[in-house]
Each structure stands twice: as C-alpha cells, then as structure tokens.
Chain A
Amino acid sequence: MKELRIIKTARSIEDANMAADMGFIPLVKKLKPLKKLFNTVGVFRNKKTNRLEEAEDYVVYRQYGDVISYEDESEWELVVPFYKYYPYKFNSQYAAYLIPHDIEEGEKVILEDLIEDYYGGSFWFRHIRVKSLQAIWTGDDFSILYDPETDGVCTWVG
C-alpha cells in the first residue's frame, strides 16, 4: 500500500501565513460544530457534604461497570440544570488545510487534523470527534472519505 501524503492544518492566521510564505496554498474553512458531538451536563450538590459533582443524567454509567445515581433527593440537589455544550476547544474559529503546489486532482491524502466535524462514536455519555480522515483532492476542495461503519466507532489501532 502506498503511504499517503499527509495534509497539515494551520489553526492560526500566523501558521497559515507562514505556510503561505513556504509555498503552500491555505484552503480556509470556518469551524462548524456538529450537533451530534454536543455533550449534556448538569451539576449536583451533595446535601450532606456540600460537594459538587458534574453528571450527564440522574443515573450515569462509568467505566469499570460503576453506576452512580443522583436520584435520591434527600442526598442530591440539581443546582445547575442539564444543558448541552460543545466540548472541543480551538484557538480560532477558522482553520486552513495547507495545500501543496504539486497536489494532483484525484490524489488521495490524509487530512491529519480535520477542520470539519465528523462523529467518531460514543462511549458512555461522551461523543468523540474524528481527528483524521482520508480525502480526495477534487481540484478545489477535498472530498472527505467518511464511513460511519468504520469511522463512527471508538476504536484505534497502532
């Protein structure tokens, strides 16, 4: 199998301009958070200890088979109602794929740091964002090769 060329991503205007000075063409895209990646969280206060705990529901499942319940109203008070938030943080609201001058139409590459959001599966209450995917250069953009059967699961090899 031929090792595919890796396309880097600039996450700041400084990095994009540095790459432009080196001969790369920045393909700029705005970040669009995918609703499916949003998480839910609320905050419970323990009435006996006054300590706070974040939870995704009144009953949450943790790894190693742990189950935690906040259903007992004599013990727990929901002090911040459940809300949804986007858990991934980026320095800039746009980013740029750094396109090499010699890229050819139809060339398959690896987008090492995806700008677009793709769902990479869930485990317990957490939704994973796909970091890298293969893509084909169409001449003016990438056609991203995302298969939910293989890319939408939380599995890593290496």
Chain B
Amino acid sequence: MIFKLSTKELFSNEGVFIKKLHCPYYIKWQELDDSKCATHKECSVCNKTIYNSINMNDQQIVDLVARDPEACLKISLNQNNIKTVGIYERA
C-alpha cells in the first residue's frame, strides 16, 4: 500500500485509490480501549470497528472497503506493508 501523508489518502501498490482516512472526532488509536487485540479496536463514539492495517495486504483492504466504504483503518508509518509519500507536502 501507499499512504500519501499530506492528504491521508491510501492507495494500492499499483496506485489505485482505496480511501481517504478521515475521523471527524480526531480519535487516536492509543486512546481507544486496549482489548489486547492487535487486529482491531472498537470505537465507542461511532460504534465502529477500527481495523489495524499492519497485517493486511492490499486485497484485504480493498475487499474491506468494498464491503463497507465507511470502514475505519489504523495506519502507522512504521508499517512494513506501507510506503509513505508526500510527507512534507501541504494538502
């Protein structure tokens, strides 16, 4: 996956747009209940599941977003499955 930091847009490795990360409540992963589950956490504000993308591949994320276009993801720049671009650009 490719993550454009300046716009928070996520693309597949082939450059196909997947989704734009946006949280109207500015929720932070570290603030969510720690259920000792590395794959996902529950957000009590929107009652949605936030999926940790660290062990997901392009296809899994594409499938997830296809099933639920509003699906929430957690992305960390240190993930080995993500290439980060546009770090110093302004959106």
List chain A positions with a Cβ less than 8 A from chain B.
1, 3-4, 63-65, 87-90, 110, 121, 123, 126, 128, 132, 134, 149-151, 153-158
Contact = CB atoms under 8 A, between A and B. Distances in A.
B88 A3 contact: no
Interface residues of B, number: 30
B72 A157 contact: yes
A67 to B, nearest CB: 13
B23 interface: yes
B83 A155 contact: no
B21 A157 contact: yes
Contacts of B87: 87, 126, 128
Interface in B50-91: 50, 72-78, 80, 82-84, 87-88, 90
B32 to A, nearest CB: 8
A10 to B, nearest CB: 14
A155 B29 contact: yes
A90 B25 CA distance: 26
A88 B45 CA distance: 33
Contacts, number: 70
Interface centre among B28, B50, B75, B77 (most CB of A within 10 A): B77
Contacts of A151: 28
Contact of A155 (B25, B76, B84): B76
Given A87-B88, A156-B74, A63 B30 contact: no
A154 B78 contact: yes
A158 B88 contact: no
A153 B80 contact: no
Contacts of A153: 30, 76
A150 to B, nearest CB: 4
Given A121-B77, A155-B30, 14 more contacts: A3-B25, A4-B25, A4-B26, A63-B80, A65-B80, A150-B30, A155-B76, A156-B75, A156-B76, A157-B29, A157-B73, A158-B22, A158-B72, A158-B73
